[in-house]
Structure formats: C-alpha cells, structure tokens
Amino acid sequence: MFGRRKRGADAPDQSETTNEIEAVEPAPEIDLALEADQELVEEIDRVSTAKSAPDDRADRGPLDETEASAARPYVDLGGVKILPREGLHLRLEVEEGSQRVVAVGLDFEGSTLQVQPFAAPRSTGLWHEIREQIAEQIRMQGGAVSDVDGPLGPELRARVPVIGEDGITNETRAARFIGVDGPRWFLRGVIAGPAADDPEQAGAIEELFRSVVVARGTAPMPPRDLIPLHMPPTAPTTAI
C-alpha cells in the first residue's frame, strides 16, 4: 500500500632571488618529490570524480530507463520505477512545506530501503564525494561511521543517533548508505532495520536496490539536483 510521510536537508615571491641562486639546479630528490606530489594530487582528483558502480550494473542494475525491459510491470514514480513483488510496501516521503516528493521508501522483509535519484554529469560520478559529506555529517551528530567495500562498491556502515520524544539522544541505530553512479544519474540508498547489520538478511534488500530503474529524462539538470518524483498515475489500493 502506498503511504505518505512528511519530513521537515601562495607561494613566496621569488622575483628578488639572486642570479647565483637562480643558476643552481635543484637536487634530484626535490624534483622527484614534486613529481610524486603532483601524481598524488592527480590520483586523488581521478578517484574523487570516478564513477562508482558494480561491474555488472548494466546487466543486474540499478538500470537506466533505456536498459530496462519495457515489458516488465514497473510502478512509475517519475525519477524511479519500482518492480512490484510480494510483500513490498511502498511509501512516498513528502517535504512538508512544498509537498514535493523527495524520496521513495521501500519496506521489505522487515527492513527499509530509502532511494533518491539525482542528476549527475555524463562522464564523472558523485558517490565518492557525497559519501565523504555524509560521513562528516554523521560524525558531527555524534554517530560512528566506517567506509567499507560492500557488494555494490564503496559504502558507509554507520551507527546513527536516534532522538527520542523528549529530544534527547538515548541510543543509535544501524544504517547502511549505498550509492551507484549511472549514465547521467546517481542513485542513493539508505538501508535500515535488520539488513543494515545482518549479512544473512542484507541480500534481499541489495537485490531490491538493484531492481530499481532510474528515469533521468533528457531535460538539462544541474548535477546533484533531485530527479523529480511523483505519485504513480493510478495508485494501487493494495501492497505491491
């Protein structure tokens, strides 16, 4: 059944150096160090902008709309399409002020998967940079987080503070932050519940994430903009 939930996020000047000093050739060790530093900077830049996705993404998902079978009965939510399955409950998370749909929540086998699709550049990815920003936010909130290599690539395993009704943080809960860079889009997922820390229950949620289809569209969009989501044309009256 569909539900709606509100949510209320220089170097010093060398021009005066004497001729004698200018004529001295730098030591080979300094040249090598400078070269190594430049290579390190280039490697960091390359990694931070590289796409992050499983090698078999185009076959097993998450799929681009152009890669998905038109014959499959997807539920069209705009920026994402969800494949119905027994026991799957779908929620649309709505921003309270604007009433804009900002995320899709999928409850399945006792765990929850939240997905959000974002516009991205054609040749570079977003997940490496976004992952660092999420980790920093969690630590600032008093949580704990580690960067690990998961089944879908790099991901964050976190303990996120939970604020009680009295406004006091009394405990933490497990969460996994996963992400995949596709063609001109980035799909982020947040796993909560047993699948967040139990490997035996994680497989079903990971497969659910892979089954999501992203519909980027052809309209120009700035990178990191949320690809618009909406209610399906005809909302089902039973759980999907």
Distance CA 149, CA 71 (A): 34
**What digits encode the pLDDT tens for the residues 175-184?**
999 999 999 9
pLDDT of residue 238: 38
Distance CA 192, CA 173 (A): 8
**What digits encode the pLDDT tens for the residues 23-59?**
344 444 445 555 555 554 444 445 557 899 999 999 9
Backbone angles phi, psi at 16, to 5 degrees: -100, 10
Region 72-101: what's the mean pLDDT?
94
Distance CA 79, CA 39 (A): 39
Q: Which residue has the higher pLDDT, 188 or 3?
A: 188
Fill in the amino acid letter for 65: E
Q: Which residue has the higher pLDDT, 7 or 97?
A: 97
% of the chain beyond a pLDDT of 70: 75
Distance CA 53, CA 56 (A): 8
**What digits encode the pLDDT tens for the residues 199-238?**
999 999 999 999 999 999 999 999 999 999 999 876 543 3
Beta bridge partners of 104: 92, 115
Residue 116 structure tokens = 């959000």
pLDDT of residue 192: 97
Residue 148 structure tokens = 């690990």
Residue 153 structure tokens = 């690539």
Q: Where do the domains of the chain lie, and which CATH numbers do they carry?
A: 57-214 (3.40.1000)
Residue 47 structure tokens = 């990694």
Query: Is residue 16 predicted with pLDDT exceeding 70?
Result: no
CA 135 to chain centre: 12
Distance CA 18, CA 56 (A): 60
**What digits encode the pLDDT tens for the residues 95-133?**
988 889 999 999 999 999 999 999 999 989 999 999 999
pTM (2 d.p.): 0.78
